[in-house]
Amino acid sequence: MTCSRCRGLMLSEYLFDLDGGVERWVTSWRCVNCGQRDDAVIQRHRRARPAKEQFTLETFMPRRADTFLQEHAGPQQAAA
């Protein structure tokens, strides 16, 4: 199995889970290169999450984006 972040080698690990007051061993995957973890709960959350949204300055400040860009533009951008 390869890591979704860095394409490194994933190793299976057994972890002790205390979720919900039930003590049990669960299988998790860990990347040798970057340390990313992957297990059933993480996979379920990824499937339930909506597609990534592109966030821009206009998304957060739609009315003030132009003013902000004009005030903080460098000399090269101001002349353009």
Residue given tokens 């090269």 in the structure block: 76
Which pLDDT belongs to residue 17? 79
CA angle 75, 77, 80 (to 5 degrees): 110
- Which structural domain, as residue segments, surrounds residue 1? 1-50
In this prediction the pTM is 0.50
Q: Count of domains in the chain?
A: 1
- Inside any domain, residue 73: no
Q: Are 49 and 58 in contact (CB under 8 A)?
A: no
CA distance 9 to 26: 20
Which tokens in the block code for residue 14? 């057994």
61: in domain: no
Residue 71 resides in a domain: no
The tens digit of pLDDT for each residue in 27-63 reads 899 999 999 998 888 888 878 876 666 666 666 665 5
